[in-house]
Amino acid sequence: MGKEYDLFVPLYYSDGSRIEPEKFEQIQRILLSQFEGLTFFPQPNQGFWKIRDVVYRDEIVIYRIVAQNTRAARKFLRRLKKELERDLKQEKVLIIERDIETL
């Protein structure tokens, strides 16, 4: 049994300007190098969240990876999350972890 991770990566910086395509290519290279495989969902998805009475909206793409070594994956993804938040000028980048079983 392994873990599946979804990285929700925004298409826009916090100031509203579009994130450069090279940044997404770099994320793909990093994930492929670390996990030797990934699935990229390039179609824009909308995320919404509410803080007090204000509703925020963001457009994101999703990268999905599968890992057998959970400890190493978590360590790597925590570090990557901080780097993405800094480089993409985001308050938070969402990474979801799920248990999986493969057939």
Boundaries of domain holding 34? 2-58+66-100
| Domain tally, the chain | 1
Confidence of residue 95 (pLDDT cuts 50, 70, 90): very high
How many Cα atoms within 13 Å fall on the side-chain side of residue 1?
A: 4
Q: Is the pLDDT of residue 1 over 80?
A: no
Q: Are the C-beta atoms of residues 57 and 46 closer than 8 Å to each other?
A: yes
Question: What is the side-by-side order of every strand in the sheet holding 39-51?
Answer: 39-51, 54-67, 2-10, 94-100
pLDDT tens for residues 57-88? 889 999 999 999 999 999 999 999 999 999 99
pLDDT tens for residues 8-48? 999 999 888 999 999 999 999 999 999 999 999 988 888 88
Alpha-carbon distance 93 to 84, whole Å?
7
What one-letter code names the amino acid at 22?
E
- Residue 93: how many other CB atoms lie within 10 Å: 19
